[in-house]
């Protein structure tokens, strides 16, 4: 057994967490030692003495303040550890991204529920990833290579619903010109995903309940039962419990479906994931659009970080695809959909936003996509430079540094757009520093 070398010097900043760690190292060294040489014992003794001294040095206050400060770090680690744990257990994420504790909790429930074949009810606002979660459950279940059939209960007209779900016999109704399999039969041995289950009419709910109870269906126009072995995952953006209290959703069906209940939080309640999702979707869009991942101006980034995302992750994803398509290297406010842009913008931005808003909407209709992209990219570039110059008070060198761009290239761009840095001078500092560039740029 090798004795771990702990630093023996007493560091001036003793942290409670570091002390605990040292104690743990000592303990495990002792626990796993089968034999200790005298020298090792001396070394461990010295470490123990140092530890005792450090503990003595630490006042009560320090202990608790330091421990409290260390807390967020521990939370971070445990998030990573939880995601890592899922990875190590070969959990299939199906592209589900994020490590917010509430998402991790949903994934951990999915992990446990997946192999059981118990019905799962997923609820959450539109765009929170319910369908993705259903795929995760299927992929991690005992039937991953069997069919996965998705049905949107809200999109089927009432009179066709039964036939869609359970199939029909030829001649069962006008237009039933041949025998037809329903979704349940197609999903036999696999998973059926019943999306927007809250929209299922009461008549359909009764039929569904029977399938859940008897594991068999009857095609419309036939009384022959057909056994189906299908794992059911249902999703809704409604409050099913409340619907059942109002008599609009059968309570017994609710309980049947929600043996395992997973709730996906709206994006505004897991904002910590937004920056990660930006880069995730920027990379994804870059791959699809065969471009470099789009960059965001600080202004756009700030806006998108504080935006409410009523459409949740779907909306964020769509925005990243949109700006990746419309912007050049860097996207700015004018690449946002008009209805998403803030009502009040700074004067500098208004020019750009107006240009892209007024022209942008029609430009996209009238020109070819590549023209529209070029136009939007030029607008974005100019607005970006204007705003940048404004922010740095006309100091080109500073702007070049902030946007990580070669200075002469930046000056070339200023020329291209007819921008003069001196027009953005404010009375603030930095003037002398930038005098030389002003001449070059002018
Ligand atoms: N955690 C996530 N990580 C990556 N993409 C996600 C995540 N949650 C949702 N998405 C994506 O957002 C979009 C909407 O998700 P979806 O499952 O259709 O939502 P819902 O069914 O709740 O309306 C899809 O493109 C999906 O892939
Ligand atoms: Mg959906």
pLDDT of residue 286: 96
Ligand 1 pocket mutation, candidates 91, 104, 127, criterion most atoms within 8 A of CB: 127
Nearest CA to ligand 1 atom 17: 129
pLDDT digits (tens, 9 = 90+) for 73-108: 555 658 888 999 999 999 999 999 988 999 999 999
Q: What is the distance in A from the centroid of ligand 1 to the CA of 132?
A: 6
Q: Are 332 and 297 in contact (CB under 8 A)?
A: yes
Q: Are strands 167-168 and 180-181 parallel, antiparallel or unpaired?
A: antiparallel
Ligand 1 atom nearest to 125, measured from its CA: 22
Domains identified in the chain and CATH numbers: 1-90 (no CATH), 101-266 (3.40.50.300), 273-380 (1.10.8.60), 392-442 (no CATH)
What is each CA distance from 160 to 43, 164, 201, 225, 308, in whole angstroms? 80, 6, 12, 19, 37
Q: Are 268 and 117 in contact (CB under 8 A)?
A: no
Q: What is the distance in A from the centroid of ligand 1 to the CA of 316?
A: 10
pLDDT of residue 134: 98
Q: What is the distance in A from the centroid of ligand 1 to the CA of 133?
A: 8
Q: Which residues of the chain have pLDDT under 50?
A: 1, 9-12, 61, 63, 345-367, 427-442
Q: Which residues pair with 296 in a beta bridge?
A: 331
Ligand 1 atom nearest to 103, measured from its CA: 1
- CA 105-304-332 angle, 5° bins: 145
pLDDT of residue 273: 92
What is each CA distance from 333 to 29, 110, 192, 298, in whole angstroms? 57, 38, 41, 10
Q: Which ligand is nearest to the CA of 195?
A: 2
Q: Give the residue ranges of DSSP H helices in 149-231.
A: 158-166, 183-186, 202-214
Q: Which ligand is nearest to the CA of 127?
A: 1
* Single pTM value for the model: 0.64
pLDDT of residue 292: 95
Q: What is the distance in A from the centroid of ligand 1 to the CA of 436?
A: 51
Q: What is the distance in A from the centroid of ligand 1 to the CA of 127?
A: 6
Please identify every residue whose CB atom is under 5 Å from ligand 2, which is an ion: 131
């Amino acid at each position: 057994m090798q004795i771990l070398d702990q630093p023996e010097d007493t560091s001036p900043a003793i942290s409670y967490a570091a002390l605990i760690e040292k104690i743990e190292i000592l303990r495990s060294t002792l626990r796993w030692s089968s034999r200790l040489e005298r020298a090792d014992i001396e070394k461990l003794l010295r470490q123990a003495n140092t530890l005792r001294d450090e503990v003595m040095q630490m006042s009560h206050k320090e202990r608790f303040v330091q421990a409290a400060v260390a807390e967020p770090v521990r939370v971070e680690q445990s998030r990573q550890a939880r995601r890592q744990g899922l990875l190590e257990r070969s959990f299939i994420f199906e592209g589900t991204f994020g490590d917010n504790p509430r998402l991790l909790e949903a994934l951990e429930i999915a992990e446990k529920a997946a192999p059981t074949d118990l019905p799962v009810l997923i609820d959450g606002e539109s765009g929170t990833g319910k369908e993705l979660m259903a795929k995760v459950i299927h992929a991690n279940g005992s039937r991953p290579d069997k069919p996965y059939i998705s049905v949107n209960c809200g999109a089927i007209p009432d009179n066709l619903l039964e036939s869609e779900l359970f199939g029909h016999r030829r001649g069962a109704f006008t237009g039933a010109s041949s025998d037809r399999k329903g979704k349940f039969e197609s999903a036999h041995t696999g998973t059926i995903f019943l999306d927007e289950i809250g929209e299922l009419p009461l008549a359909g709910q009764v039929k569904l309940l029977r399938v859940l109870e008897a594991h068999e269906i009857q095609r419309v126009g036939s009384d022959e039962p057909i056994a189906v072995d299908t794992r059911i995952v249902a999703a809704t953006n409604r409050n099913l419990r409340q619907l059942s209290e109002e008599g609009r959703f059968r309570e017994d069906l609710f309980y049947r479906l929600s043996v395992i209940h997973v709730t996906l939080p709206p994006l505004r309640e897991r904002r910590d994931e937004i920056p990660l999702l930006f880069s995730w979707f920027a990379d994804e869009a870059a791959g699809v659009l065969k471009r470099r991942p789009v960059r965001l101006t600080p202004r756009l980034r700030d806006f998108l970080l504080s935006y409410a995302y009523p459409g949740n992750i779907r909306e964020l994803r769509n925005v990243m695809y949109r700006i990746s398509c419309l912007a050049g290297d860097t996207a700015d406010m004018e690449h946002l959909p008009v209805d998403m842009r803030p009502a009040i913008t700074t004067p500098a931005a208004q020019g750009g936003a107006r240009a892209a808003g007024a022209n942008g909407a029609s430009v996209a209709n009238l020109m070819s996509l590549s023209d529209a992209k070029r136009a939007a990219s030029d607008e974005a570039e100019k607005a970006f430079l204007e705003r940048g110059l404004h922010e740095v008070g006309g100091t080109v060198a500073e702007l070049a540094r902030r946007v990580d761009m070669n200075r002469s290239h930046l000056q070339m761009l200023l020329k291209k757009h007819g921008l003069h840095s001196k027009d953005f001078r404010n009375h603030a500092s930095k003037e002398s520093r930038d005098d030389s560039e002003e001449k070059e740029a002018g």
